Structure 1
Amino acid sequence: MSVSETPRTATTRDVTEINRTAILDLLRTAGPASRREIRERTGLGSATVERLTQALIEDGHVEIAGLDRSSPGRPSSLLRYVSGRRAIAAIDITESNARGRIVDLGGTVLHEINEPFVFDGADPGTARLDGLLRLADRLVADAPAVGAPVAGIGIALPGITDEGHVTKASELEWRDVPVADILRERTGLPVLAENDANATVYGEYLHGAARGEESAIALVLGTGIGAGIASEGRLHRGFRSAAGEVGYLLTSSASFSRYFTEHGDTENTIATELAPWVDRAGSHVDRRIGPAFRRMMAAVEAGDKAAATTRDEFFDHIGLVCAAISVVIAPSVIVLAGAFAQYSALSVDQLSRRLIGRIPSPPRLAASALRFDAAITGISALAIERAREATYLV
């Protein structure tokens, strides 16, 4: 600190914000409590607890939930955190549609809708953005009917997203799209935009197959392949939020003879292997890796020998991905999510056999517990945390 700098001291507002947070966190995590219990568990004085809890009741963030008769003398009121007073809108965007939920601050799903994208010859990237905006409008308009006004919006999408700015999302045909700013301008609400693999690992970390783990990776097979990384309750986003772009892992020294822009080497290699199982029947060729993987696996089950060979090559490359991220990050679990879900037990077996004896301390491999709800569950949780912070710091 230079001589000219003055140390910053906490203001009365700072102290009030900290004390409000302590009370709300206690009631949210521990359940109803009396003012005496709040004093004992937070260390706050009687006058502070009385003043702040009364203000929280008047604001609707806390309510009276009966009487505490466990102590001798006159019963005291039990106070309870009100999770349903406000809600967030959570949106999960894929190549073909956007799915939306209204979720209260306790995590209860109040409402859900779906918005298929309408292309009709329009620019595909623009059509997807228009569909997202229509869905957001519908969610905000529907919120009063479910009794909880929306306090913020969370979006999970397949692409590199840094501070609400989509730097690259090949699947959506977006590049340098300030999606959070656009949606904030449209709705007047705070917006959190996050990569879908990050949202997936956070959902599994809190409520799914990675619950209770110290560190976790979600390997998501969808339009492409990506990984979300969580450790000690936090997401690891990396420089410019580009951590987990495992589709760009190089497959061999031959990779140095060419360049990769829209898709990485591993993703291109897997897509090429699965090309015979791409759906070309409709007017739109479905080049997503996930659906092609499922069609290939169905062919294996039907006895197709070529499909069985492709299955082995596919899991060889996924095994290399798991090995690479395991030796660098050393997660305690890798959750297989997205299109892996339909063949989860087989996928776990195939990859476990490829890792054991080849890397130190292979992680536990687990199928996604939340399946196709993982990303929207994760972005809901992240948006709820953001909305709670805003509530706490009023």
Structure 2
Amino acid sequence: MKRPAPRTATTRHVTQINRTAILDVLREHGPLSRRDIQQRTGLGSATIERLCSALMEEGAVEAAGQVRQSVGRPSTLLRFASSARAIMAVDVTEYTARGRLVDLGGSTLYEESHTFALEGQDAGAARIDGLLGLVDRLASPETGVTAPIVAVGITVPGIVHEGVVTKAVELDWQEVPLADIVSARSGLPILVENDANATAYGEWHSGALANAHSAVALVLGARLGAGIINEARLHRGHRSAAGEIGFLLTSSASFSRYFTEQGDVDSTLAAQVLPFAAREGLHGKRIGPAFRAMMARCRAGDSEAEQARDEFFDSIALALVATSVVLSPQVIVLAGAFAQYSEESAEQLTRRLVGRIPWVPRIAVSDLGFDAAITGVSALTIEHARSATYLA
């Protein structure tokens, strides 16, 4: 078989690489003079001058004062213009969509929430309509944000692959091309991410998983999911389905049935906690609120709830055994509905893992709480937007 001819870099490719080098060094070490940039990147002075001038015209780089480095005229300092552009981040849950405008430095500029109008409506379609309405409002001048929005990031509770929500039971979405739908409405690049992945990235970027080389965010919401950081990168797996630990099997009896909308672990957890939700007047099959109802009864001394709690954490621990043995994470952070009872949950799970697996990861409490997913998708979208800026 004839091998394909090797590809060679064009002038455009070289320019893109050089732009990236300049913007990266300014973002990480700026403000810097042109001479400093030359020393750190190894690029020629003419290239530095040409590309810095172009980046300033585009608004990607801005002046940041002057410094005298030697005899002669003072040098202008340059910095990455993080406030010159913004991204939009939206966290979609069963009942609400929460939107945030963030500059490229990660500072929040504006935030707004929308409650879906579901009564008497096709719930899946109503959520899409509500999401699009929120996107419209966030993109409007009414927010007071003048920086142009360059990308949109959306996090959802479901399996997402290449912008398509392949399955989100809580949202009544299946094979929904969400990125295409929102892009058609906004005209912007769209990043769609699973909420557990976004939570893991948020905690890794600026929370309890910071500096961890290998970590897991265990998210208890309507179902149980996990976001995975492996080798300091977000791990999505084949068809972006990594971390769906609610579909782990609990015993050989699991082979006598099939699991479609809800996995075996999720079904087991739901059966253990939903009776306590019903007693509090909570309806539906959401595990997170039912877990909180059960734990509240435990604190009140309800012995039946205490037995259910023990069975519940047994089931969670079995899922963590599989996760820990396969991935060997340094740390597991508890997120979502665990938040209110995170210290107790960490103690319950650690006690069950010790002596049962070769290496017990540290089980930590979330630093970001319910901000984790939107923080994570913001950071991911900023990276996406920076790439677009670098390669313009």
Smaller-chain TM-score bracket: over 0.9
**Partner of residue 381, structure 1:** 379
1:275 to partner: Cα distance: 1.5
Cα gap change, 1:281/1:125 in structure 2, threshold over 3 Å: closer, same or farther? farther
- 2:183 is matched with 184
**For the structure 1 residues 279 and 78, does the alpha-carbon distance in structure 2 shift closer, same or farther, using more than 3 Å as the test?**
farther
Tell me the amino acid that sits aligned with residue 366 of structure 2: S
Residue 249 of structure 2 corresponds to residue 250 of structure 1: yes
Aligned to 2:67: 68
**Structure 2 residue aligned with 1:334, among 332, 335, 348?**
332
C-alpha separation in 2, matches of 1:65 and 1:261? 56
- CA deviation map 1:194-241 (0-9, x unaligned): 100000000011100000011111000011110001123321111111
Q: Note the alpha carbon deviations across 1:147-184, whole angstroms, 9 max, x for none.
A: 21211110000000000001111111111111111111
Aligned to 1:46: 45
Contact 1:86 1:104 in 2 (8 A): yes
Q: Letter of the 2:2 partner, please give it.
A: S
Partner residue, 1:268: 267
Secondary structure of 1:189 counterpart: coil
Paired with 1:194 and 1:172, the residues of 2 have a C-alpha distance of 14
2:228 alignment partner in structure 1: 229
1:203 and 1:381 in contact (8 A); partners too? yes
Q: Distance in 1 between matches of 2:337 and 2:141?
A: 31
Partner residue, 1:114: 113
> How large is the RMSD of aligned CA atoms in angstroms?
1.4
- Tell whether the 8 Å contact from 1:21 to 1:393 is kept in structure 2 after alignment: yes
Distance 2:212 2:278 in 1: 38
Structure 1 equivalent of residue 320 of structure 2? 322
Q: Are the equivalent residues in 1 in contact too, given 2:88–2:378 (CA < 8 A)?
A: yes
- Name the structure 1 match of 2:2: 2
SS at 1:129's partner residue? helix
State the distance in 2 between where 1:254 and 1:361 align: 28
Q: Which amino acid aligns with 1:335?
A: V
How do 1:205-224 residues align onto structure 2 when only pairs under 5 Å count? 205-224=204-223
Which residue pairs with 2:283 in the alignment? 285
The answer (yes or no) to whether the contact 1:65–1:80 under 8 Å persists in 2 is: yes
1:162-173 matches, cutoff 5 A: 162-173=161-172
Q: Counterpart of 1:302 in structure 2: which amino acid?
A: A
Unaligned runs of 5+ in 1: none
Q: Deviations over 1:124-161 (max 9, x none)?
A: 11111111111111111147721212111100000000
Partner Cα distance (1:258, 1:287) in 2:
19
- 8 Å Cα contact 1:143/1:149 also seen in 2: no
Letter in 1 for 2:370: F
- Equivalent positions of 1:54-203 (< 5 A) are 54-142=53-141, 145-203=144-202
Aligned length: 392
Aligned to 1:366: 364
Q: Is the 8 A contact 2:137 2:143 kept in 1?
A: no
Q: CA contact under 8 A between 1:352 and 1:365: conserved in structure 2? A: yes
Unaligned runs of 5+ in 2: none
Structure 1 position 73, deviation (Å): 3.9
CA contact (8 A) 1:93 1:155 kept: yes
SS of 1:128 mapped into structure 2: helix
TM-score normalized by structure 1? 0.97
For residues 218 and 95 of structure 2, the distance between their equivalents in structure 1, rounded to whole angstroms, comes to 21
Contact persistence 1:279–1:287 (CA under 8 A) = no
Deviation of 1:286 after TM superposition, in Å, equals 3.7
Aligned letter for 1:87?
Answer: A
TM-superposed CA distance for 1:243, in Å, is 0.6
**CA separation in 2, counterparts of 1:220 and 1:152?**
26
1:78 & 1:250 partners in 2: Cα distance?
59
Question: In 2, distance between residues paired with 1:389 and 1:275?
Answer: 45
When structure 1 is superposed on structure 2, of 109-118 and 136-145 the one drifting more is 136-145
* Contact in 2 for aligned 1:143/1:150 (Cα 8 Å): no
Aligned residues of 1:88 and 1:387 also touching (Cα < 8 A): yes
C-alpha contact (below 8 Å) 1:278/1:287 kept by paired residues: no
* Partner Cα distance (2:230, 2:76) in 1: 39
Aligned equivalents of 1:23 and 1:277: distance in 2?
57
1:338-372 CA deviation, whole Å, 9 max, x = no partner?
Answer: 01111111111111101111101111110111110
- One-letter amino acid of the counterpart of residue 388, structure 1: R
- Which letter does structure 1 place at the counterpart of 2:301? G
